Structure 1
Amino acid sequence: MTLQIRPMETEDVPAVLPFLRAHHPYRVLTEKAVRWRMANPTPHSTDLPLVATDGDGGIVGFTRSLLTRPEGRDPHGLTFLTAVAERYRGGDLAARLLTASEESLVERGARTLRTEVAEEPVQAGGPVLHEVALDQGYAEEETHHILGLDLSLLPPAPEPPAGVELRTFREYADDPRPVYELDRLASEDEPGAVPSVGFMTFEDWVNGPWNHPLTDLDLSLVFLHEGTPAGITCYGSDRRSRMESSMTGTLREYRGRGLAGYAKHVALLRAREQGFTHAATGNHENNAPMLAINARLGYALLGKETGYVKPVA
């Protein structure tokens, strides 16, 4: 049966979404978010989702091919969110998807190539994709721990730290700039090997993360210390049962006071009260403070996600 790899079209979304959910069960994915991303490209980057179809037109493979252009540095490309139907994992489809993404990235100017693969059960077929990455010349670069939490097991909230106050992102809807500044400053020393493009402008941030359909303004919190904004904990959700942490950060001068852990705990309790049942998060393996906070909250390791890198010949 002939397999075809081609760019994804908007009419593919209803078939692609359940395929992705089956292969990435701990990701929060919605049709609205997929369509929004296709219609709203990220600044300083170009995104090309690819699908593989069988002879009947059914979706049997997927990957995202993202080119990022940091100012003053060579462009780099990332292949991620890869999924291959189980019946094709013994063949060459995974390698063909990675090659198609690489070719697209190099054509658009990439000088460094990266890909991400997670273990089972975080990513169905992950071990196969791991072998493909190594076979195609990638070297392991960094590792993240992917964690999951059954919210019914969340312990009661501790006593609030002295001077702490919590506000939802919704309370900043008329002027989100304070949230932007916290996000920008708290992200400066976030662990990770992948080079960034520099923090985005306020306008790009509003049009991107703030307005993203998954961003949950009611679950995400700003925490203040004696009236001064000290940090944020941010969540995306499907507005029904599943949520995913996208960022928790504390300004340097307020770290070590238990503010972030308390804010995360309250956010998760509020989510449970609203009917959410599962939460997921990911932490760089070197982010010991956040791994410790999440362990106290009851998060369990689901698997590890590895980033791979290779230069363009």
Structure 2
Amino acid sequence: MNQFAVAEVEVGPIEAHEWDAAAQAYTAALPDDPVSGAELRRRDEEQRGWNYHAEVLVARQNAEVIGSAFYFQNPGAYHPQRFTLELGVRPDRQGQGAGAALWAALEAALRGLNAESARILAREDNEVATGFLARRGFVGDKRYFTSALDLTTFDAAPYQALEARLAAQGIRLRSLTELRAAGAPDLDARLHALMSDVRQDVPRADPATPLSFEVFKEAVLEDPALLLGGYLVAEHGGQFIGQTTLFRSEASPDLLTGLTGVTRDWRGKGVATLLKLGAIRAGQAMGGTLIRTDNASDNAPMLAINDRLGFVRDPASVSYQRVF
């Protein structure tokens, strides 16, 4: 072996001591989608607990983890033969065959499961990722925008009239912390019903499927990344009419927006903006400096709200599909 030789890449299932290294490799490759080892392990365990097909694979050079890949099934758009993929290789180890080896292992596993198709996201300005996917038969279709808001400079003054108008109509925001402290009856079931309602019309790459109460409770309410003070519900006359959520990964100080949605009868009346304002204030109270959110490019109403609030869009991410 001469000084320019590259060590062979070996791919296999993740081992118990490799979760942190796998997450670090993925986050280094995709810093806009950070994940910790504990979070990656939890997601894998959840999938298996729901009896879905899922596996985390790692690429190693000289026993060092340099890349990782994950195939799983989306409970909110479930189909027994459709899968979601994640794949990342440390930037300093790209171009040495790790990505190709991970994809070969993913493809073999998916074919063994009789997969119909698989999806993966890639930013359209990432020529390495988009070229990698195109060469392997992936075709891009749905586009998404990730946007960020600087909480240190946000000015809520222009929205005082909106907030006063909605307050006069009897609409108020209540956090999950407040609702639990108040002993709201059947709270978890009501939150599940609200999320199930408002998510139906959210644009997505694949059709929405019902989210079971079990999945909702484990994936949302029991997620360690959920910020209880940032889970906000809009209430009117004792009825829940809208929601938004905030999360924070162990791998990043940024605040991440989950689902923001309003029941059909209340759309177009400023409730979604009120929820966004509440989340911004909650984030500021928690010491956050940046909120990130993502929306499909055809979700014009929510994109317009975010634009007015001052969210700045990153280059679009594209959902690439591989049909088998």
Sort the Cα spacing of 1:172 and 1:48 in 2 relative to 1 into closer, same or farther, 3 A: farther
Matched residue SS, 2:269: coil
Q: Is the 8 A contact 1:230 1:251 kept in 2?
A: yes
Match of 2:58 in 1: 51
Do residues 3 (structure 1) and 9 (structure 2) align?
yes
2:301 is paired with a residue whose SS is helix
| CA distance in 1: counterparts of 2:110 and 2:223, whole angstroms | 25
Alpha-carbon shift at residue 73 of structure 1 (Å): 5.3
- 1:254 alignment counterpart: 266
Question: CA contact under 8 A between 1:44 and 1:68: conserved in structure 2?
Answer: no
Structure-2 residue corresponding to 1:29: 35
Counterpart among 228, 235, 245 of residue 246 in structure 2: 235
User: In the alignment, is residue 215 of structure 1 matched against residue 220 of structure 2?
Assistant: no
Task: Tell me which amino acid in the other structure corresponds to 2:89.
Answer: V
Q: In 2 relative to 1, CA 18–113 (structure 1 residues): closer, same or farther, beyond 3 Å? A: closer
Q: Cα 1:39–1:193, aligned 2, differ >3 Å: closer, same or farther?
A: closer
Greater share of strand residues, 1 or 2? 1
Partner of 2:150: 150
Aligned CA RMSD, in angstroms, stands at 2.4
1:28–1:242 contact (8 Å) kept in structure 2 = no
Q: CA deviation at 1:107?
A: 1.0
Q: Give aligned pairs, total.
A: 304
Percent sequence identity over aligned pairs:
23
SS in 2 for 1:268: helix
Deviations 1:57-106 (CA, angstroms, capped at 9, x unpaired): 222111211145899955112212x2112233334332322222122122
Paired residue for 1:306? 318
1:128 aligned partner: 128
- 1:199 match: 210
Q: 1:17: Cα distance to partner?
A: 3.0
AA partner of residue 242 (structure 1): D
**Unmatched 5+ stretches in structure 1:** 121-125
1:85 and 2:90 are equivalent in the alignment: yes
**Aligned-partner residue type, residue 229 of structure 1:** F
- 8 Å CA contact 1:242, 1:278 repeated in 2: yes
| Cα gap change, 1:177 to 1:14, in 2 (>3 Å) | same
Which residue number corresponds to residue 178 of structure 1?
A: 190
Matched, 1:264 2:271: no
Larger proportion of helix:
2
**Deviation at residue 145 of structure 1 after TM alignment:** 0.5
Report if aligned partners of 2:9, 2:101 keep a CA contact under 8 Å in 1. no
Unaligned runs of 5+ residues in structure 2 are 1-6
> Of 74, 96, 102, which residue of structure 1 is paired with 2:101?
96
The match for 1:110 is: 115
- Give the corresponding residue for 2:4: none
Instruction: For residue 189 of structure 1, give the secondary structure of its aligned residue in structure 2.
Output: coil
Contact 2:246 2:256 (8 Å CA) reproduced: yes
- Tell me, yes or no, if the aligned pair for 1:165 and 1:226 is still in contact at 8 Å: no
Q: Secondary structure at the match of 1:303?
A: coil
- Higher-Rg structure is 2
Q: How many Å separate the matches in 2 of 1:216 and 1:277?
A: 15
Give the match's secondary structure for 1:26.
coil
Alpha-carbon shift at residue 206 of structure 1 (Å): 1.1
Does 1:244 find its partner at 2:250? Answer: no
Alignment counterpart, residue 170 of structure 2, candidates 159, 163, 171: 163
When the two structures are superposed, what TM-score results if normalisation uses the length of structure 1?
Answer: 0.88
TM-score scaled to structure 2, two decimals? 0.86
**Cα displacement string for residues 42-66 of structure 1 (whole angstroms, at most 9, x for unaligned residues):** 63522211111112x2221112111
Is the 2:81–2:117 Cα contact (8 Å) retained in structure 1?
A: yes
**Conserved? CA contact 1:216–1:236, under 8 Å:** yes
Gap change, CA 1:72 and 1:17, over 3 Å in 2 = closer
Q: Distance in 2 between matches of 1:109 and 1:291?
A: 37
Partner amino acid, structure 2, of 1:236: F
The worse-fitting range, judged by mean Cα deviation, of 267-276 and 231-240 is: 231-240
Report SS of the residue matched to 1:247: coil
Q: Does the aligned pair in 2 maintain the 1:94–1:129 contact within 8 Å? A: no
CA deviations 1:115-136 (Å, max 9, x no partner) are 221245xxxxx32121111111
Change (3 A) 1:70 1:176: closer
Comparing 293-302 with 230-239, greater Cα deviation is found at 230-239
